Chains A and B, each alone.
Chain A
């Protein structure tokens, strides 16, 4: 059985898809049309997606790492040899 991307058990959405889905969720919540059960479900989904986006942003939020191509290649070769 296939699992929907972005669902708790499925593959993660891309950053742009996740961010877009969060905006969609907030628009739906702001409209006031969601029932209580739907609101709680949307809030849960939105929190999970925000955590995912925050994780991706955190991955490029530290210190810039600069490598020369040769350094990257040798590092990858070492990793391959180590395995």
Chain B
């Protein structure tokens, strides 16, 4: 260590008349203190783990028992290795054994110093007294049926008044307000501010719960607090508080600590939430903004159906009216026709008779016209035939004699008699067969010679 101020002009003088050595520069003293503490014998300590905090490089926690506490620190990499070896993750309230020795961070001009027990190894020894006590109480409440009582209460979906128990300066208050605003809820919020951490907290929270529930206006109560160690949240494991909550007729929503924390209040409350935001959503069961939009849509759908139904009803009424009108017209028409028929059957018969007479006259006239026409046509045809016959007869009279004469002349031209008259002789056999050649005549020997005036026998004699 440097010389005290008296020997070094750069160091100011110490306290006058003080018998103690120094003054020494604090950094040097802190470093010496660290060195001395590190020389302490390394040992094992037994206690309950509380206030566990994870930093980037170091893990901090406290080891407590009824007689006192020691802050502990361990390098993060060593912590991970210890967990791997332990096979179980140490949790708040657990009884653990740590091995290590004293250490001291001397700090600097810009950082605070700190004492810690530097942990080099760790073993989980079992549930700590605190956890064991909480667990016993939980089982007792369960046996008494107090864990389900709140959960059986009907929670209003849209409360008008919400009671909130929280710390006045805590962040939970802002989170709750923001979540309710996002939900579109703007009813009445009754704040019951109370300490949420120390040994006085539980009785005050219990009293606030009773008063909120006693107003009868508060429809649901939220108990909210941010995260913390088991020691911080211990007040929410208070037996009186938990029994009071369990017997309230107003639903209580617990929002204590983070999702890894579990207090007895979480067990007895109607709902256990991990954040104030979730608690607000549990308290106001509907998103009011969306509900208003849904209502508008539902009203629109109903109006649409109503319009359609009224249209149908209107068309039905119109159809009924038209049917009535058609019926009336049909009855009137039938009545008119019946009246007409009943009034004038004679006229009807007369009309029919006239009609028949007219038709008869037309038929007769038609027949006459047909006969006249056919008669005229027959006369014309007779005249034509007569004329044609006369013409044919006259023609025959003139033409036929000439024709006969011509035929007679032609026939006379072929008459052998006329040839014989001109001096020719026709030779023929005695049988009358013509002999046209001398040879035929020679062979015949006997022959007939026909002259124009007679026929003479003749004989062929050769000389």
Contacts and interface: CB of A to CB of B under 8 A. Distances in A.
Contacts of B309: 36, 39-40, 43
Nearest to B159: A60
B264 interface: no
A71 to B, nearest CB: 8
Interface in A41-83: 42-43, 46-47, 50, 53-54, 56-57, 59-69, 72-73, 76
A23 to B, nearest CB: 8
Given A16-B285, A19-B291, A67 B306 contact: no
Interface in B261-302: 284-286, 288, 291-292, 294-295, 298-299, 301-302
Nearest to B177: A64
A16 B154 CA distance: 11
B187 A76 contact: no
B204 to A, nearest CB: 11
Q: Tell me the interface secondary structure of chain A in the complex.
A: helix
A33 to B, nearest CB: 12
B288 A57 contact: yes
Interface stretch (B90-98, B207-215, B227-235): B207-215
A60 B212 CA distance: 19
A40 B294 CA distance: 21
B158 A64 contact: no
A72 B288 contact: no
Contacts of B302: 25-26, 29, 43, 46-47, 50
B190 interface: yes
Contact of A67 (B157, B177, B188): B188
Interface residues on B, range: 35 or more
Contacts of A50: 295, 298-299, 302
A18 B177 CA distance: 27
A40 B211 contact: no
A47 B193 contact: no
Contact of A64 (B186, B308, B310): B186
Given A15-B158, A39-B309, A29 B301 contact: yes
Interface of B: 156-158, 160, 163, 177, 180-181, 184-193, 208, 211-212, 215, 217, 284-286, 288, 291-292, 294-295, 298-299, 301-302, 305-306, 308-310, 312-313, 316
16 contacts: A15-B286, A19-B286, A19-B291, A25-B302, A36-B313, A39-B306, A50-B299, A60-B284, A63-B186, A65-B186, A66-B188, A67-B189, A68-B192, A69-B190, A69-B192, A73-B211
Given A40-B306, A64-B189, A69-B191, 20 more contacts: A15-B156, A15-B157, A16-B158, A19-B286, A26-B302, A50-B295, A53-B291, A53-B295, A56-B158, A57-B291, A57-B295, A59-B160, A60-B185, A61-B184, A65-B187, A67-B189, A68-B192, A68-B193, A69-B163, A72-B215
